[in-house]
Chains A and B, each alone.
Chain A
Amino acid sequence: MSALPSSARTTASVPSAAPKTSVPSSLQPHALLRITDVAKSFGASRVLESVSLDVRAGETLGLIGPNGAGKTTLFNIVTGFLRADTGTVLFEGRELGAMPPPARARLGLVRTFQKSLVFPTQSIRRNVAMAVRAQGSGAYRWWGGRAAHAQADAAAQALIDGCALAGCGDELVADLSYGEQRIVDMLIALAQSPRVLLLDEPTAGLSTEEAAQLLALVRQHHAQTAVVLIAHDIDVVFRECDRIAVLDLGQLIAVDTPEVIRQHPGVRAAYLGALAEVQA
């Protein structure tokens, strides 16, 4: 792997794995999610300018950049909450076009949000079961709901018992601590059987210990899913991720392994430099 050309900042960004870019995605076993030339503006402000990025099966991809770089907007476009002005999103070789968020979620494009969006008036188990039911055919069932409930509750219980909240399935989410609610938030996402899991600052506001718990939970399920991780905690990103993509002012300035990114001059200038100074 070599460092990116210095022109990367001004031209359309280049996917990191250069030799693979010319191969059609259908022939490319690794590109689970392919974002091509995506751009988005809100009124006069351009939030994303022609971003292209691949997410490969099984990898953990870090997405970093200063505030306002366009990270969350990219998530919104991938999951269908926003339409891109230009560009395409391919999932498993399939163009998603105008597909709405629920359909994308059912394909396995699963995300979390900056705030934890949980169902506070319900128990942990019901929170997770809500996500379980969404996968199957029982999501909108009225008659025969009892069986659907029982199945979903069992599946939810299995997930809960595999994490730090084991045995607490009956507790109301409103009664939990912030960190615990974050875990519930993650459990909900994991219960969706994700193929690509897009995590938007899951560790923000958590203690080191809580963050470690949460990431351990993600790692447990890592075998089935690719993870895209937005985090402001650089240490976390460099420790957890196989590759790191750097966004700045709506442009992708680098995508590479943590070692390369750490040395990347453009990245240092845009992001790490400033951070390094603070840390120093």
Chain B
Amino acid sequence: MSYYLVQTLNALSFSVLLMLTGLGLSLVLSLMNFVNLTHGSFFLLGGYVAIHWIGAGAPWWLAFPAAFVIAGAVGLVLDRFPFGRFYPRTHLMQVLLTYGLSVIFADLMRWGFGADTMSLPTPELLRGVVFVAGLPFPIYRLFIIVSGGALALALWYAIDRTLWGAAIRACVIDRGIVETLGLNTRRIFTVGVVIAAGLGGLGGALGSGMLSAYPGLDEEVLLLALLVVVVGGLGSFGGTVLSALLLGFVTTFSRVWLPEFANFLSLGIMAAVLVIWPSGLVVRKMRPV
């Protein structure tokens, strides 16, 4: 029994990790209708930043804000050029642009940070275990579950419950109306991209404690994030959380019972979801024409 409890916790921590990978992507997609495939690069960048930050001896808890700020700064630069002129374009053009950029970033990071696998020097405080019904469970995983959960709540609150979130949502529906209210839509989009990039970096900083950081992680994360966000349905933040939980639990428990077929099962279930619900798990109901 306690065995399944811990495996459930494992599934939960992996789900939260998946959610963390998807947060930034989900934000720009659901709020600004912008597909940002450089998201995996932000994630890896955040991981590298955190690793070097702690490696340099700076206070560990500042590594996460540092990753947020640096990734966000890159987001700000990208927003100036070339993202800005692609906000009103089709998804296809956005996919192409940002995928191309992610290829460039992957190479730049390999150049700058080297090709070696690196792992986060986790602080002593987070390195221990707690005993769950007699079985050990790493504190770092609890840390990820708690901080990921808190982040998700904060985002949900900011988007659904604050004026700022309402403004961004309104931008997507009708930029003109928002501008007549005296808000600068261009600036709102900038803020959205910067926060999304920062979230990518923050996710990477947290995730590098579990995943390590190495060239190619950006692409793996991008794939998972895209899967999670798209299967969740582009309309809502709740969908992303739901599909992260689905993918996390399916993957974890297929590893428990059928480790050889873990990938196949996860892919199969995601495909089935998209076949049954072609617009993802959570869809805004709309009149078709």
Task: Note whether A and B contact each other (Cβ less than 8 A).
Answer: yes
A contacts, CB < 8 Å to B: 42-43, 72-73, 76, 81-82, 113-114
Q: Please name the 5 residue pairs, one residue from A and one from B, whose CB atoms are nearest each other, closest first.
A: A42-B285, A81-B288, A43-B285, A113-B289, A81-B289
Chief secondary structure at chain B's binding surface: loop
Residue numbers in A under 8 Å from B289 (CB-CB) = 72, 76, 81, 113-114
Question: Closest A-chain residue to B289, C-beta based?
Answer: A113
In angstroms, how far is the closest chain A Cβ from the Cβ of B188?
Answer: 27
* Complex Cα spacing A87 to B134, Å: 60
A-facing residues in B129-145 (Cβ within 8 Å): none
With an 8 A cutoff between CB atoms, is B85 at the interface? no
Residue numbers in A under 8 Å from B287 (CB-CB) = 42, 72-73, 76, 82
Residue numbers in B under 8 Å from A72 (CB-CB) = 287, 289
Please give 7 more A-B residue pairs, beta carbons under 8 A apart, in addition to A42-B287, A81-B288. A43-B285, A72-B289, A73-B287, A76-B288, A76-B289, A82-B287, A114-B289
Max chain A CB contacts within 10 Å: which of B285, B286, B287?
Answer: B287
Question: Closest A-chain residue to B288, C-beta based?
Answer: A81
* Complex Cα spacing A43 to B284, Å: 10
Residue numbers in B under 8 Å from A114 (CB-CB) = 289
Residue numbers in A under 8 Å from B288 (CB-CB) = 76, 81-82
Residue numbers in B under 8 Å from A42 (CB-CB) = 285-287
A-facing residues in B255-289 (Cβ within 8 Å): 285-289
Chief secondary structure at chain A's binding surface: loop
B contacts, CB < 8 Å to A: 285-289
In angstroms, how far is the closest chain B Cβ from the Cβ of A242?
Answer: 27
Max chain A CB contacts within 10 Å: which of B286, B287, B289?
Answer: B289
Question: Closest B-chain residue to A82, C-beta based?
Answer: B288
* Complex Cα spacing A259 to B287, Å: 33
* Complex Cα spacing A114 to B289, Å: 8
In angstroms, how far is the closest chain B Cβ from the Cβ of A171?
Answer: 25
Residue numbers in B under 8 Å from A73 (CB-CB) = 287
Question: Closest B-chain residue to A79, C-beta based?
Answer: B289
* Complex Cα spacing A113 to B285, Å: 20
Question: Closest A-chain residue to B286, C-beta based?
Answer: A42
In angstroms, how far is the closest chain A Cβ from the Cβ of B287?
Answer: 7
* Complex Cα spacing A81 to B286, Å: 12
In angstroms, how far is the closest chain B Cβ from the Cβ of A42?
Answer: 5
Pick 11 A–B contacts, CB within 8 A, sort by A: A42-B285, A42-B286, A43-B285, A72-B287, A76-B287, A76-B288, A76-B289, A81-B288, A82-B288, A113-B289, A114-B289
Residue numbers in B under 8 Å from A43 (CB-CB) = 285
In angstroms, how far is the closest chain A Cβ from the Cβ of B238?
Answer: 15
* Complex Cα spacing A76 to B285, Å: 15
* Complex Cα spacing A8 to B49, Å: 70
* Complex Cα spacing A42 to B285, Å: 7
Question: Closest B-chain residue to A75, C-beta based?
Answer: B289
In angstroms, how far is the closest chain A Cβ from the Cβ of B80?
Answer: 32
* Complex Cα spacing A72 to B288, Å: 10
* Complex Cα spacing A205 to B49, Å: 55
In angstroms, how far is the closest chain A Cβ from the Cβ of B247?
Answer: 27
Question: Closest B-chain residue to A114, C-beta based?
Answer: B289
In angstroms, how far is the closest chain B Cβ from the Cβ of A199?
Answer: 14
In angstroms, how far is the closest chain B Cβ from the Cβ of A136?
Answer: 26
In angstroms, how far is the closest chain A Cβ from the Cβ of B102?
Answer: 31
In angstroms, how far is the closest chain A Cβ from the Cβ of B236?
Answer: 14
Residue numbers in A under 8 Å from B285 (CB-CB) = 42-43
In angstroms, how far is the closest chain A Cβ from the Cβ of B44?
Answer: 40
* Complex Cα spacing A42 to B286, Å: 8
In angstroms, how far is the closest chain B Cβ from the Cβ of A70?
Answer: 10
In angstroms, how far is the closest chain B Cβ from the Cβ of A97?
Answer: 19
In angstroms, how far is the closest chain A Cβ from the Cβ of B42?
Answer: 35
Residue numbers in B under 8 Å from A82 (CB-CB) = 287-288
Question: Closest B-chain residue to A73, C-beta based?
Answer: B287
Residue numbers in A under 8 Å from B286 (CB-CB) = 42
* Complex Cα spacing A71 to B211, Å: 55
* Complex Cα spacing A43 to B286, Å: 10
Question: Closest B-chain residue to A111, C-beta based?
Answer: B289
